[in-house]
Amino acid sequence: MIFILSGRPDISEPTQLRGRTLAAVQSTGTFRIVSALIEDAYGLALGRDVVIVGVDNPAAAVTQVTQNRADAGLSWEPNISAGLARDRRLRPIFNAGDAYRNLTNLIFPFFAVGARQEWAERNPDAARKVRQVFASCLAGLIGDTEDAVRTAGQNTGFAPEVLADAITSRRLRFVYGSMADEAERRGVVKASEFLAHYGLLQRPVGEDFFLTS
C-alpha cells in the first residue's frame, strides 16, 4: 500500500531520484521504513542523495507532485489511487511491499492487533475469537469489495470508486496472518530483524512476543 509516485517522464525508477526532490511526511515510521528499503535496494539515502520536501500529511505529498512542486511523492493508499484518478500523468515508480518481498521473499506485516498477556491468560479463548473476527472481516472485504466500500467507505473521506480501485488494482492488498501460525510468526520476526538492523527497533522480537493460543 506504500508507493512513490512521479509524473515526470524521465523518472521511472528510484535510482533516477538522485539529486531530485521527494515530497514526504518525514515524521512517520513509513518514511523510515521506505528509507531503509531504498538504501538496501538501491544504495540511495533519502535526505542525502534525494532532497526531501517535507509535508504534514500523506495526501499533501501527492498534491506536491500534481502541482509540479516535487519530482516525486511518497504516500500510501487510498491517497495513491486518488492521485492517479486526479492526474493521469502520475505512475508508481516504487512499491514498498514488492521491494521488501524481493529482499526477503516475505510479506512485510504492516498492521497488527495486540493484546495484554494477562488479559489473554484470564480469557483463554479471547485471542482466538479476536483472530476469527479479523479473518472474517478481511474475507468479507476481499470477497465482496463493492459491498465493503458501500458499507464502510463513506466514513473514509474518499470517493467509493477511489477505494474500489485501490483494492481491485491490488495496490491496496489485505492478507490475513495468524500468530498461531509458525510461518506467520517467522515473518514478523524477520521484519523486526530488518527494522532493528536499520535502527528502527531497539532489538528484534522473540517468541515471547506472540499470543499463539
In the chain, which residues fall in CATH 3.40.190.10? 2-104
pTM of whole model > 0.85? yes
- What CA–CA distance (Å, rounded) separates 76 from 19? 23
Q: What does the alpha-carbon distance between residue 75 and residue 59 come to, in Å, rounded to a whole number?
A: 7
pLDDT (tens digit per residue) in 93-104: 999 999 999 999
CA distance 48 to 174: 33
CATH 3.40.190.10 assigned to domain 2-104? The reply is: yes
Report the range of poorest mean pLDDT among 65-69, 89-93, 100-104, 137-141: 137-141
What would the pLDDT profile of 147-195 be if each residue is shown by its tens digit? 888 877 777 888 888 988 998 899 988 889 999 999 999 999 999 999 9
Q: Return the pLDDT at 156.
A: 80
SS3 state at 74: strand
